[in-house]
Structure 1
Amino acid sequence: MRGPWARRAAETFAVLAIGDAVIELVSPREHSLLWEAGPEGSRRIARFFAENPNLMRLLGAGQLAFGLWLALRQYREGWPPTG
């Protein structure tokens, strides 16, 4: 079993993933364009997803599923937490 801080870190990551996924589902084009920065390769990827919002929504759905799985996994592993 992992320690409480590792489990808290995993849940924090899950919460961030879930929040990002919701934004991708609701506003995929604007979310993609917000990250159009940095090297040309990164900007190209952001533009690709902005031009293909349903692909961004699909990515968001996968990210949402992963975030929920990760968060719920914390509760199945030795609940309640100690320490």
Structure 2
Amino acid sequence: MWKRRMVETFAILTIGDGAIEVISPREHSRLWEAGPEAARKVARFFAENPGYMRALGAAQTGFGIWLALKQYEEV
């Protein structure tokens, strides 16, 4: 039971993060522009290319929904 709850919690977080990426890709990317230079470069890339961030967010949201629905299947 706890494993399913943890997976669903991860799915909820994934859906929310994906939605923010779709709604506000530049701002979301800039928020995470911190840490090692490699991580900052990735964040800058997505801030400069919001279409890619939106696509990633849509895929992430879809994955989160799929993952959440898997928790409701009969075992």
The two structures have a TM-score, normalised by structure 1, of: 0.88
Identity of aligned residues (%): 67
Equivalent residues, number: 75
Among 23, 27, 34, the alignment partner of 2:24 is 27
Which 5+ residue runs of structure 2 have no aligned equivalent?
none
Q: Report the structure number with the largest CA radius of gyration.
A: 1
Among 6, 14, 17, the alignment partner of 1:9 is 6
Which 5+ residue runs of structure 1 have no aligned equivalent?
79-83
Q: Which runs of 4+ in 1 moved over 3 A?
A: none
**Aligned-residue CA RMSD (Å):** 0.6
CA deviations over 1:44-69 (Å, ceiling 9, x no partner): 00000000000000000100110000
Q: Is 1:70 aligned with 2:67?
A: yes
